[in-house]
Chains A and B, each alone.
Chain A
Amino acid sequence: MTEIAETHSAPAPSLTTRLEIVPLVLFTAFAAAPLLAAYSGAEGYVLSLLTRVMIFGIAAMALDLILGYGALVSFGHAAFLGLGGYAVGILASHGFEDALIQVPVALLASAAFAFVTGAISLRTKGVYFIMITLAFGQMLYFLATSLAPYGGDDGMTLASRSLVAGTDWLENDFTFYWVCLLCLFGVYALSRSIAASRFGRVLRGTRENAIRMEAIGFRPFRFQLAAYVISGMMAGLAGCLLANQAEFVSPSFMTWQRSGELIFMVVLGGLGSLHGAIIGAAAFLLLEEFLPEILHTLSFFLSEETRSHLAENWKMVFGPLLILIVLFVRGGIMGLLRRPHHG
């Protein structure tokens, strides 16, 4: 009997190794990018775009932790981006410019908001959960727009990036890039660990069959709430980074469209693999960035006027394109990467 227990503990090597290739390539690419950026001639632009990709990767991964592993469709996750961002902005405007103060405050605020709203939202299921998380997100959005001392609708510009223990390291775009990569990796490693842990297994079990979980003695609510809080804190961290990247915070950080985009990134990348969420965020942001040019190039056979119209109205292609990907690429981009091996 123990023999079987042990053979199980050594997971099938082929399966794991081939799937681990994806995160390996992904992080290697992020690590190599700054070196390549130096040769691109548009160093600042490439760095800032990829930094945004990583920041949204963190936020999407945070969402994947509850959406992919817990089937909790939070439609208000942008609220945490806003919380993180405003924690940085508000504290900075009062003279607390150090990340060592800002980040803990942001994480605490995110945790508190997640705890309270999660405790209420998680009493509901399905579409009600979606609606109530949306409502809480909107609540925070309107609160931000009414914060006149902090810019109200217009938001506020940061005087500088956060200090780190008194030094202005983050002002250097390369350093900031590496800090974001470190955060991305940290959040990824932590999430992977959570997903495989006892806690994660309860979360995954609840996703499959909550009644069964109760019938073996678990109280799913506690686990879901804890996951919601962890996820909220991770997204709050992404908010801190986003504020520093943009050197600006505004209510637009937490619109419901932004929450929708996060869901989209997760689904696009493939639910429940974590690195899928990063890939989804990358695909989403890069498409958003380059689709106008791609359209312009691809439509070489049309008249110049139509081509520029097309490029201008790229969103009309963007939407349907995303829908097509989600419809026809089951399991998102990760599903696509996995598929050839199964055949």
Chain B
Amino acid sequence: MAEALLELRNLRKNYGALVVTDDVSLSVEPGELHAIIGPNGAGKTTLIHQISGMLPSNSGQVLFAGEDITHLAMPRRVERGLARSFQITSILPGFSALENVALAVQARSGSSFRFLGNASQEKDLNGTALECLGEVGLGARAHIPAGLLSYGEKRQLELAIGLATAPKLLLLDEPLAGTGHDESQRVVETLRRLKNRLTIVLIEHDMEAVFSLADRVSVLVYGRVIATDTPERIRANPEVRAAYLGDEEMV
């Protein structure tokens, strides 16, 4: 087996007495799409925060491409190729969709301590940014201020921003939440395409999407990983069926 791209070792997080991440160990192989599912409040978002470096862990380790990144700040992790999207849309509302993405490209291409020259006219940055927007189907909306995009479009923009950081691993926190049917189809198609190019950790409540996309699925309940397996075996797992509240949801 190839070395894991992302490895979590006995990761813990608690808020006072409330244990939100409880001894989570998990490994994500290069190239796979690894879904993490679990009921509301299971601690999925918290786990993404810990992996991305937004929240410190109480104990345990995060290894990325063999390197211990447990104590690195978020921007440092992004530099190493670990990007994320947010469950609660986090964009720059006053910037155009293009500039939102171009800034992410800028972060990866040369120094940003440049005081001369108009950044919004840099062809290299805009070109790459447009490719990323095209990838998620927002090419035609490039010049709309991000704050004016529809909710679904903002979710797609999140994805484009993540892509623009040229990640090795993309952590996606419910990219489908709140999108309409057509939009969600489009995002699923986008993810299916991306999956050949990069490694993805996908948190999602939409079981249909999860089972059609994922190579492996981990089930998180009350902060614990109760199972990690292929979609078929997860679906058949009685423990998962019992623990995961929406029994009938599991198709």
Q: Taking beta carbons and an 8 Å cutoff, which residues of A are in contact with B?
A: 1-2, 4-6, 8-9, 190, 193-194, 196-202, 204-205, 208-209, 211-219, 223, 226
Contact of A1 among B74, B75, B121, B131 (CB under 8 A): B131
- How many residue-residue contacts, CB under 8 A, span A and B? 119
A217 touching B54 in the complex, CB below 8 Å, given contacts A205-B92, A226-B113? no
Contacts of A200 in B (CB 8 A): 115, 119
In the complex, B220 has a CB within 8 A of chain A: no
B78 near A217: Cβ-Cβ < 8 Å: yes
Given A216-B78, A216-B104, A5 contacting B119 (CB threshold 8 A): no
Q: What A residues does B41 contact at CB under 8 A? A: none
| Contact A212:B78 (CB < 8 A) given known A199-B113, A226-B113 | no
The interface residues of chain B lying within 8 Å CB-to-CB of A211 are 54, 90
With a cutoff of 8 Å between Cβ atoms, the chain B residues found around residue A208 in the complex are 92-95
Q: What are 21 A-B interface contacts by the 8 Å CB criterion?
A: A1-B131, A4-B130, A4-B139, A8-B120, A8-B143, A193-B115, A197-B115, A197-B119, A199-B112, A199-B113, A199-B115, A205-B92, A209-B91, A211-B54, A212-B91, A214-B78, A215-B54, A216-B78, A216-B164, A217-B78, A219-B75
The reply on B187 being an interface residue by CB < 8 A is no
Distance to closest chain A CB from B216 (angstroms): 25
Decide yes or no whether B199 CB sits under 8 A from chain A.
Answer: no
Q: Is the CB of A1 within 8 A of B134?
A: yes
Please indicate the chain A residues that have their CB under 8 angstroms from the CB of B75 in the complex. 214, 217-219
B167 to chain A: closest CB distance in Å? 10
Contact A1:B127 (CB < 8 A) given known A199-B112, A199-B113, A209-B91: yes
Tell me the bound Cα distance from A90 to B80 in angstroms.
Answer: 50
Q: Are the CB atoms of B103 and A216 closer together than 8 Å?
A: yes
User: Shortest CB–CB separation between residue A66 and chain B, in angstroms?
Assistant: 14
Mask: chain B, 85-127; 1 = CB below 8 Å from A; 0 = not: 0100011111100110001101110011111111111110011
- Residues of A contacting B98 with CB < 8 Å? 8
Q: Which 9 A-B pairs have the closest CB atoms?
A: A217-B78, A217-B107, A216-B104, A5-B126, A9-B121, A208-B92, A198-B114, A198-B119, A201-B119
Given known contacts A202-B103, A216-B78, A1 and B130 CB-to-CB distance under 8 angstroms: yes
Query: With A and B bound together, what is the CA distance between A23 and B116 in angstroms?
Result: 20
Say if the beta carbon of B189 comes within 8 Å of chain A: no
Give 14 new A-B contacts, CB below 8 A, not counting A198-B119, A202-B106, A212-B92: A1-B127, A5-B130, A8-B120, A197-B114, A198-B114, A199-B115, A200-B115, A201-B119, A204-B95, A205-B92, A208-B92, A208-B95, A211-B90, A214-B78
Which residues of chain B are near A219, meaning CB under 8 Å?
73, 75
Distance of A195 from chain B, by nearest CB (Å)? 10
Task: Report yes or no: B78 in contact with A8, Cβ–Cβ below 8 A.
Answer: no
- B99: which A residues are within 8 A, CB to CB? 201
- Report Cα–Cα, A190/B115, bound state, in Å: 9
- Write out the residue numbers on chain A whose beta carbons fall within 8 Å of the beta carbon of B123: 2, 5-6, 9
B208 at the interface (CB under 8 A from A): no
> Is B79 engaged at the interface, CB distance under 8 Å to the other chain?
yes
For window 137-168 of chain B, which residues contact chain A by CB distance below 8 Å?
139, 142-143, 161, 164-165
B83 within 8 A of A: yes
Residues of A within 8 A of B161 (CB): 212, 216
User: Taking A8-B120, A193-B116 as contacts, is the C-beta distance between A198 and B106 under 8 angstroms?
Assistant: yes
Shortest beta-carbon distance from A307 to chain B in Å: 48
User: Considering the chains assembled together, what is the distance between the CA atoms of A223 and B114 in angstroms?
Assistant: 11
CA distance A260 to B106 in the complex (A): 36
B84 CB-CB contact with A under 8 Å: yes
Q: Tell which of A190, A201, A202, A209 has the most Cβ of chain B within 10 Å.
A: A201
In the bound assembly, the distance between CA atoms of A194 and B115 in angstroms comes to 5
**Distance of A6 Cα from B143 Cα, bound (Å):** 12
Contact A217 B79 (CB under 8 A): yes
A2-B127, A199-B115 in contact; A218/B107 too (CB < 8 A)? yes
Q: Which residues on A sit within 8 Å (CB–CB) of B50?
A: none
Shortest CB distance B45–A (Å) = 14
